[in-house]
Structure 1
Amino acid sequence: MGHLGFSYIGLIFLLMLTIPNLIWTKHQPDGYDFHDENKVLLIFERVGQVLVTCTSLIFSDFNLRPWSIWTLWLVAAVILMLMYECWWIRYFKSPKGLADFYSSFCGVPVAGATLPVAAFLLLGIYGKVVWLIISVVILGIGHIGIHLQHLKEINQ
């Protein structure tokens, strides 16, 4: 279920998530408008953000431990977070249009939302912490759902 204690791996993941998003606030895509977002998805997203932030920090189960087959889950999670960073680099080098922001990356649709959600899900599996897994599902419903909604709008 999870051992309470600080997770430095969770902190690293959160920094990898937060820093590009803070930079993005100064480089938002032209025409970006969040006012018509689905309110139910928005509630899922906000609740999920709080839960994922808290649970990824307060369980020591995410920290490094001796190699086992479970370590592959952490390796996969790190790969997804590195892909997320690469997606951001591509976005920041792009014209920064809506299509750039809602783009896929290496075959992953709406990669800016999907990659970190998937990475945190794998981190939850690695740590065997059901609370993070549940939190990520809540976040994913909202965050990926909102991104898919915006992608659908710009494709119309």
Structure 2
Amino acid sequence: MESVRVQLSGNRIKAYGRIVSAATDSAPAFSASYDLVTDESGATKRLSMTVTSAERERQLSIARDEENMWLVQDHTGQTSRAAFDGALDVDVVFSPFFNALPIRRTGLHQRLDSVSLPIVYVWLPDLVVAPVTIGYTGAADGIKVQSPVASATMTVDSDGFIVDYPGLAERI
């Protein structure tokens, strides 16, 4: 389950959210809270996350600087700087909300087109950060996404936010 409060100012987004996951065969139960800020174009500027499980609490901070380099401070306090293949967006596994960032930034919700984008990808609950490429294709029935964990056709609203992501979530 994900709950997110979104504040819009043009293409700029401030979002505060929480993802709650029950235990599965491959991961323990956890809660992840986040704070996201984009720039005026909708590109991610900063993401702060805290993941809490029965065993521990860990934090992650990701920020894009004026040279489009990403500064990542992981849960150990270690800081690294990387280009992540020129990525402008962050995606978080299990979150339908983060798919809206590249969709809105590229205007894909307003046109039928295809884009393949480098993305800074955050794996939960481990807070592993890695570059990935995600494909988005606008179609009459929604936006098709091809990510490291899913292939689906999402339905979006007129603002580019996810309404239905089959197999993951449906907005209520």
Q: Same fold (TM over 0.5)?
A: no
The TM-score with structure 2 as length reference comes to 0.25
TM-score (norm 1): 0.27
Q: Which has the higher helix share?
A: 1
Compare relative contact order (CA 8 Å, sep 6+) and give the higher one, 1 or 2.
1
